[in-house]
Structure 1
Amino acid sequence: MRNVPVAEVDDLDRAVLAIGTDYPPDHLLVWHAHRRAQVLYAATGVMRVETADGSWTIPTARAVLIPPGTRHQVAMTGVSTRSLYIEPAAVPWFPARCRAVDVSPLLRALILEAVEMEPRYPAHSRDAAVADLLLHELRNLAPLPLDLPLPADPRLRGLCEAFLRRPDVHDPPARWCAALHISERTLARLFRRGTGLSFSQWRQRACVLHSLRHLATGTPVTRVAAMLGYDNPAAYTTAFRKLLGRPPTAYRGAEATGAQAAAPGRAATPPRPPE
């Protein structure tokens, strides 16, 4: 299925529904929730999925698991998605919180194949076997450290969201303290309690994850490092590798790979909100 709102097919008696959706540039899918569990795969582009307790930056050819009933919004840069919507009873192991995951070549092929299937696929058919194999493969996904926790405290969260719009790896804690009228010790305590990270850890993580969208569009590493305030590209590369286990160059050019993985002949019909 392509560019079909899940609400139109949600009541079908099938454990797995697959929908491909093509979004305009810089699209924001506003806050919503699904009855089914969702596997949201970025066939092209970069997504930032936000919930009440955090955000997940998903580059091309990766996915995020979204538990049923979880309110979320998705900011997209050049994104075409392939989504699996799964009856909760079919995935009792599904995480209670969103989780970014790697996608194996086999799982990627199964997701792309499932999008081409008829939604009312017959029981015991080849398409039903694809759906069953999808459920098996989903149990073995490797988690990726692409999440950024966000605090519940409304004042601190507001500053965090403002930082994410213009991240700077050297943004001083004193500025945050002045805005909140608190001491640096109190700021440290609020960050640890609200995110599980220190201020500097959160700031570094936010910068690295933010850089993924620029890498995906082909921005040179030297320019990305400068945009984020790193003293030099080597410092940025070290921070990137420490978090993601690979250098920034591993995420450049992934857009082309993802575009090839998105089955040919993508529909040009605009999406009908929300998925």
Structure 2
Amino acid sequence: MSVLRATLTSFDPDTMHQPANAVRVDVVENESELPMHRHSKGQLVVALRGGVTCEVSDGLWMVPPQCGVWVPGGMLHSNRVTANGRLCFLYVDPAAAALPQTCCTLSLTPLLIELIQRLAALPQVYDVVGPTGRLASVLLDELTQMKTERLHLPISSDAKLRHIANALTTDPADRSTAAEWGARVAMSERTLTRLVLRETGMSFGRWRQQLHIIIALQRLSEGALVQRVAEDLGYESVSAFITMFKKALGKPPARYFSDKDDGTDA
């Protein structure tokens, strides 16, 4: 059994009566969390090194370094971690803090990340009015102030749309048109375009670009060069890729990650 699976199998957050608990995991190689599962406590997945992709019923959420994905209690989810990743799971009692009721990616401050790591290093069972309880209280106050990031790929239970998403994830450089994708899944271009808009709220082209952003962040967080990522995503030039990245996230790749490293708001 992998380190990640063993850790999550041996720890059941719903047996804890504290307002917040944290667990740190170091991943040696590519591996995924336990299959789709749920727990009553909310979960924040924090990427300390490498990247994490969280899948829920209606979307994929990317967690680059210095960010976290919030999964409300009771929501089915599963996570995939990049090679040699390091992450923390923070579990929060629904009554302990006013946190989002939907899945979202949060930009985390260095202070909050340090608080989560500190809590993960302490015993899981603690006195809520003692030192660890006070630390958890400050942590939750900080968590409620975090801003969201646009790192979500909306998908749905529609089998054909999931097939296209899986195919594009496997080969993101595929530049087939909506008409060509429609033919592959036995749909007209117009029907496919309507399906994507109805299920995701995006045009087909915008939806595919969002997938490119998620894949780019994952690969860049692993240390891949911008030029290599641009090639892997099928861009004709590095400048074209950087332009797309800046338009989507407000900053070019180098600036985006340097700001994450020094704690500047993204």
Q: Normalized against structure 1, the TM-score is what?
A: 0.86
Q: Partners in 1 of 2:200 and 2:85 — Cα distance?
A: 28
Aligned to 1:236: 241
Aligned to 2:103: 98
- The total of aligned residue pairs comes to 255
Aligned to 2:93: 87
Measure how far apart 1:6 and its partner are.
Answer: 6.4
Q: 2:63, 2:69 within 8 Å by CA — same for their partners in 1? A: yes
The verdict on how the C-alpha distance between 1:252 and 1:144 changes in structure 2, with shifts beyond 3 A counting, is closer
**CA RMSD of the aligned region, Å?**
2.2
Q: Partners in 1 of 2:257 and 2:92 — Cα distance?
A: 32
CA-to-partner distance for each residue in 1:30-67, whole Å, 9 max, x for gaps?
21112211111011110111111000111112101011
Measure how far apart 1:254 and its partner are.
Answer: 9.1
The verdict on how the C-alpha distance between 1:95 and 1:9 changes in structure 2, with shifts beyond 3 A counting, is closer
Q: Residue 18 in 1 paired to residue 4 in 2?
A: no
The verdict on how the C-alpha distance between 1:89 and 1:155 changes in structure 2, with shifts beyond 3 A counting, is same
Measure how far apart 1:217 and its partner are.
Answer: 2.3
Q: Partners in 1 of 2:210 and 2:232 — Cα distance?
A: 15
Q: Partners in 2 of 1:75 and 1:4 — Cα distance?
A: 13
CA-to-partner distance for each residue in 1:4-42, whole Å, 9 max, x for gaps?
646445323211111111223111112111221111101
Query: Unpaired segments of 5 or more residues in structure 1?
Result: 259-275
Aligned to 1:146: 151
Aligned to 2:213: 208
Q: 1:173, 1:199 within 8 Å by CA — same for their partners in 2? A: yes
Give the aligned residue type for 1:248: P
Q: Normalized against structure 2, the TM-score is what?
A: 0.89
The verdict on how the C-alpha distance between 1:254 and 1:214 changes in structure 2, with shifts beyond 3 A counting, is farther
SS at match of 1:69: coil
Residue correspondence of structure 1 range 118-267 to structure 2 within 5 A? 118-168=123-173, 170-250=175-255
Measure how far apart 1:136 and its partner are.
Answer: 0.6
Give the aligned residue type for 2:152: D
Q: Partners in 2 of 1:138 and 1:123 — Cα distance?
A: 18
Q: 1:216, 1:253 within 8 Å by CA — same for their partners in 2? A: no
SS at match of 1:64: strand
CA-to-partner distance for each residue in 1:134-179, whole Å, 9 max, x for gaps?
1111111100001000033112221212211211263321221111
Give the aligned residue type for 2:32: L
Of stretches 168-177 and 240-249 in structure 1, the one that deviates more from structure 2 is 168-177
Which structure would you say has the larger RCO, counting Cα contacts within 8 Å and 6 or more residues apart? Answer: 1
Q: 1:214, 1:224 within 8 Å by CA — same for their partners in 2? A: yes
Aligned to 2:42: 37
Q: Partners in 2 of 1:9 and 1:198 — Cα distance?
A: 39
Aligned to 2:79: 74
Aligned to 1:63: 68
Measure how far apart 1:181 and its partner are.
Answer: 2.2
Measure how far apart 1:197 and its partner are.
Answer: 0.3
